[in-house]
Amino acid sequence: MKLHDLLESVTDEQSFLAFVKALREDREIEATAEKASPSGPYGPTQGGWENVTIESFLESACSWAEDTGFGESQDLSDASPLRKFATFLYLGKIYE
């Protein structure tokens, strides 16, 4: 199952943890690929990671939360807290 599909399926603690494990695995695969063939300094890595340091990851996740009211402007107003947090983590990967 793709990472975004796992994000969409977060409804409870188990599905949240499955998503977090998949996000970690996605990052590990990306780190290995980047060592073998580094991406350019501008834009995302080969696997779509915009933010590869913990600092940039958390900064982007926080920026997304602030910019969208923690997803209120993106149809997450009725989402569970775990789904919102999973989205927060996912956006740490891709939000600029």
pTM check: above 0.75: yes
pLDDT tens for each residue of 45-77:
888 999 999 999 999 999 999 999 998 888 888
- Tokens representing 92? 């740490």
Mean pLDDT of 7-14: 96
Residue 80's contacts (CB-CB under 8 Å, 6 or more residues apart) are: 10, 11, 12
DSSP 40: P
CA-to-CA distance for 43 and 46, rounded, in angstroms? Answer: 9
